[in-house]
Amino acid sequence: MRWFAAKGPRGRGRRHSVRTVKPSLRARAVVLLLLGLLGPLLVVAPAQAAPAPGAGAGTTTGRITGTVTGTDGALSGDVTVQAYARTGSTWTDVSGWVSLNPGSTGHYSVALPAGEYKIRFSSYSTYNTEYFDDSPDLAGARVLTVVAGGTVAGVDAELTLASRVAGTVTDPAGGPVASAYVAAQTRSTEPGHPWREVKGVYTRTDGTYDLGVPAGTYRLRFMPGEGAPLAPQFYGDAATADTSQDVVVGVDDAIYGFDAQLAAEGTVSGTVTDEAGAPLENAEVQLDLLVGSTWVSGGGAKTDEHGAYTAHRLRRGTYRALILGSDFGEYWPNQGREEDAGRIEVVAGAAVTGIDAQLIDQEHDEKALLVRTDPTISGAPAVGSVLTADPGVWTPTDVTLSYQWVRGRDDIPGATSSTYTLTAADVGSYVTVDVVASHPGYRDYFFHSFWIEAIGPVVAPPTPVVTPGVPAPAPVPATAPVITFSKKIGITGARKVGSTLRLKNSSALVTRSAVTYRIQWYAGSRKITKATGSRLKVTNALRGKSISVRVAATSGATTTSITVKAGLIRG
């Protein structure tokens, strides 16, 4: 049994040789204890954990033990046993893991602090990865509870033989590239992450690799090793998984010749300063690569204490640069909007210099449109009636207006003009209209009009009956409710891809009656599709965008809205 502590990309283990030394008697005892050979195996269910061998009073750790075999019998390839610990609502791999060598008994024992864990069994090329208990992924793995001084035994696995993909990675001159990382990716259903990595392996000193994967269809990604002045690529010299070629692997298949010749890297460098001209440390430079008509993440760098940066490992192609300080940023050269960003042409083996930026607070903030008279809705709340949105009065006056009629909380498909004819589908619902005003040089203004009361069917008015008597008193006009939002309303969560933003303290204070809410998240001035809840998952598509959320609270015929800014999203 060998222990490893080095990691490669995405937390994958990178194999290192371990020098063998002659152990002392005390060291031998420790090794025997780690191997679980000081006594017979004790199989105990997690709920009835017994003291681990050698555990003294007051210990805070327990153990997980088991045996790993292959469907071909004893282990014929290397296997890594990795524990994942529960941290809140996620699972995180624990530092240190057990590596089992070919021909070993396959028995393992790992000491862990008390807590909840999942176990993964993986192999570079011989076996398919699985999680205890016979799960293909982490989500479906069984949860094991480790108690202090206890042993969770019988966490075994019988691994199936993997199919194999093999090839060679070379440099521009045709020489071997050692320690390049080759990963097989497959399509994912996770929003914002269309591809997920199944398994990866490092190339040998001669540039060859041998990757074991389950039968399926993959896209191969090739990443140069640390410090190598080469550019990454997908199989077929593609820039992205989407533009790469399928690699189809059958059951018990072994396919060869999936080679890659990595091009020399391009670099982009520059300096970032603040509004006083002083160097800005830890500014983030994000480089997007144009692939077809789509911008994708192409690399980046952070500035040092001198405000300087150099982005390495760039493919040839057209880039744009987003430079971010702690709270604001700009596109190169000195632009506030991504559509105005300049183009940076990168050539293989060449350096682009002078991509500089001076970040000045509010320099690129667009002016605010002013609504002098709120948009309103006219028309009767009955089927067949035509509702009309009065656009209101704006400054500047020559604004461009767009409309979206809303039934309850949902947009009405195709209802995007200033008028809307009520239909039977609207009966029993409240209807309103969203008005967005736009003008060059100004931020878009979103206005959520007041709700039209619940729609009723067409009903003929009753014939009036004249009855002599005392005239009815004049009705007392109802007092409109007053709606205010808490001063503590805000957004929590990291402003980076992969995090979740949460709206907090959004409940409005209303003087009377019930209140309904409508939430809409925005990327810049554009609505984020289906982002109408209190949480927003930050996807790669939102990188570099300024995120905000608008909350509209309605009580009766009164609507009040507020916009809360989250800021720029980092990569």
For position 346, what pLDDT does the model report? 98
pLDDT at 22 over 60: no
> What share of the chain has pLDDT > 70, as a percent?
81
Give the integer Cα–Cα distance in Å for 314 and 38. Answer: 54
The CATH number of domain 2-159, selected from 3.40.50.920, 2.60.40.1250, 3.40.50.720, 2.60.40.1120: 2.60.40.1120
CA 50-54-56 angle, to 5 degrees, is 80
Backbone angles phi, psi at 353, to 5 degrees: -120, 170
Give the integer Cα–Cα distance in Å for 541 and 528. Answer: 10
- Give 361's pLDDT tier (boundaries 50, 70, 90): confident
**Sign of the C-alpha dihedral computed for residues 532, 534, 535 and 536 taken in this order:** positive
For position 480, what pLDDT does the model report? 58
What are 254's two structure tokens? 């072994």
For position 160, what pLDDT does the model report? 92
Give the integer Cα–Cα distance in Å for 459 and 154. Answer: 73
Kind of pairing between the strands at 367-368 and 442-443: parallel
Q: Which of 410, 415, 370 is nearest to 392 (CA)?
A: 370
Q: Which helix H or strand E contains 223, and what residues bound it?
A: strand 216-223
- If one compares 499 and 313, the residue with the highest pLDDT of the two is 313
Whether 517 contacts 459, CB under 8 Å: no
- Give 15's pLDDT tier (boundaries 50, 70, 90): very low
Give the integer Cα–Cα distance in Å for 370 and 393. Answer: 9
pLDDT tens digit sequence for 67-113: 999 987 788 888 999 999 998 888 999 876 788 888 888 999 999 99
Angstrom distances, CA of residue 116 to CA of 11, 50, 61, 143, 149: 20, 16, 12, 6, 14
The CATH number of domain 480-571, selected from 3.10.180.10, 3.40.50.300, 2.60.40.2700, 2.102.10.10: 2.60.40.2700
Whether 66 contacts 155, CB under 8 Å: yes
pLDDT tens digit sequence for 270-322: 999 999 999 999 999 999 999 999 999 999 999 999 999 999 999 999 999 99
The distance in angstroms from the start CA to the end CA of the chain is 39
Q: Which residues contact 63 (CB under 8 A, 6 or more apart)?
A: 52, 109, 110, 111, 112, 146, 150, 151, 152
Whether 329 contacts 363, CB under 8 Å: no
Q: In whole numbers, what is the pLDDT of the chain averaged over residues?
A: 82
- Give 55's pLDDT tier (boundaries 50, 70, 90): very low
For position 556, what pLDDT does the model report? 65
Kind of pairing between the strands at 97-100 and 79-87: antiparallel
Is-cis flag, bond preceding 333, omega within 30? yes
Same fold for the pair 163-261 and 480-571: yes
**207: left (phi > 0), else alpha (psi -120 to 50), else beta?**
left
pLDDT tens digit sequence for 136-163: 889 999 999 999 999 999 999 999 999 9
pLDDT-wise least confident of 180-184, 359-363, 567-571: 567-571
For position 52, what pLDDT does the model report? 40
Q: Which residues contact 17 (CB under 8 A, 6 or more apart)?
A: none
pLDDT tens digit sequence for 522-568: 887 678 888 888 889 888 788 878 888 888 777 766 677 788 888 77
Q: In the chain, where are the structural domains located? A: 2-159, 163-261, 266-358, 366-459, 480-571
pLDDT tens digit sequence for 457-491: 655 556 666 666 656 566 555 555 667 777 778 88
Query: Tokens 């957004």 correspond to what residue?
Result: 491
pLDDT tens digit sequence for 396-446: 999 999 999 988 878 899 999 999 999 989 888 888 888 888 888 787 777
Q: Which of 111, 127, 137 is nearest to 159 (CA)?
A: 127
For position 5, what pLDDT does the model report? 32
> What share of the chain has pLDDT > 90, as a percent?
48
Q: What is the CATH number of domain 366-459?
A: 2.60.40.2700
- If one compares 116 and 531, the residue with the highest pLDDT of the two is 116
pLDDT at 19 over 90: no
What are 169's two structure tokens? 């990675």
Give the integer Cα–Cα distance in Å for 48 and 132. Answer: 19
Kind of pairing between the strands at 308-314 and 266-273: antiparallel
Mean pLDDT of all residues in 384-404: 91
CATH class of the structural domain 266-358: mainly beta
Q: Which of 525, 522, 296 is nearest to 402 (CA)?
A: 525
Whether 211 contacts 124, CB under 8 Å: yes
Q: Which of 280, 273, 270 is nearest to 358 (CA)?
A: 273
What are 238's two structure tokens? 């593609």
Give the integer Cα–Cα distance in Å for 2 and 19. Answer: 10
What are 130's two structure tokens? 């699985």
**Sign of the C-alpha dihedral computed for residues 92, 97, 100 and 101 taken in this order:** positive
Give the integer Cα–Cα distance in Å for 459 and 462. Answer: 9
**Sign of the C-alpha dihedral computed for residues 168, 318, 548 and 416 taken in this order:** negative
Residue 338 DSSP one-character state: G
Q: Which residues share a beta bridge with 83?
A: 119
User: What is the 3 state secondary structure string of 165-220?
Assistant: EEEEEECCCCCECCCCEEEEEEECCCCCCCEEEEEEEECCCCCEEEEEECCEEEEE
Q: What is the CATH number of domain 163-261?
A: 2.60.40.1120
Query: Tokens 């610990």 correspond to what residue?
Result: 85
pLDDT at 389 over 50: yes
- Give 245's pLDDT tier (boundaries 50, 70, 90): very high
For position 571, what pLDDT does the model report? 67
- Give 20's pLDDT tier (boundaries 50, 70, 90): very low
pLDDT at 379 over 60: yes
Mean pLDDT of all residues in 185-206: 90
Mean pLDDT of all residues in 515-519: 77
Q: Which of 306, 305, 352, 312 is nearest to 332 (CA)?
A: 352
For position 541, what pLDDT does the model report? 80
Please, how many CA atoms are within 13 Å of residue 286, restricted to the half-sphere of its CB?
Answer: 23
